[in-house]
Amino acid sequence: MPRRIRSWVAALYLPLAMAGPTAAVAQTPDGTFGSNQRFLSRDGATLFRSICQGCHMPDAKGAVGAGRYPALAGNDKLEIAGYPVFIVVNGQRGMPGFGDWLDDAQVAAVVNYVRTHFGNAYTDAVVPDDVRAVRP
């Protein structure tokens, strides 16, 4: 790369590099991330697409391959609202807990979304106090 172009690239990107990783802000087009430590979205559908569908698939039917990702679609285990709340906050087996990246209202939103979509019809809504009760 010619020296002149290298100088221009350095002048453009050096201030960003010097800001360090703690100042980094990653913003997806749908507003999912606001920092490298928390999800921003308050919408259950957006949170599902951002967090869950990568493993559980967009149709929530799960997958088998590099691991086993259980189906959330038509899942009887979701009937007791505390179960998916506990799993989302704390994780289980190969699934990491998302309690550090989601606040209580966000956990409630994504759990309510999954419990009312994909062939699930559980209408007893989870509220932030329900989530707070399962946090360590």
Residues 40-47 have a mean pLDDT of 93
> CB pairs under 8 A, 24+ apart, for 109-113?
109/42, 109/43, 109/44, 109/47, 110/44, 110/47, 110/48, 110/51, 110/52, 111/44, 111/81, 111/84, 111/85, 112/44, 113/44, 113/45, 113/47, 113/48
Considering the entire predicted model, what is its pTM? 0.74
Q: For residue 2, name the pLDDT band (cuts at 50, 70, 90).
A: low
Q: Which of 2-6, 100-104, 116-120 has the lowest mean pLDDT?
A: 2-6
Tell me the fold of 3-134: Cytochrome Bc1 Complex; Chain D, domain 2 (1.10.760)
- CB-based contact 32:41 (threshold 8 Å): yes
Could you read off the pLDDT of 118-127 as tens digits, one per residue? 999 999 999 9
Q: Please give the Cα distance from 110 to 121 (Å, whole number).
A: 14
Domain range summary for the chain, segments of one domain joined by +? 3-134
Tokens for 54? 């990568």
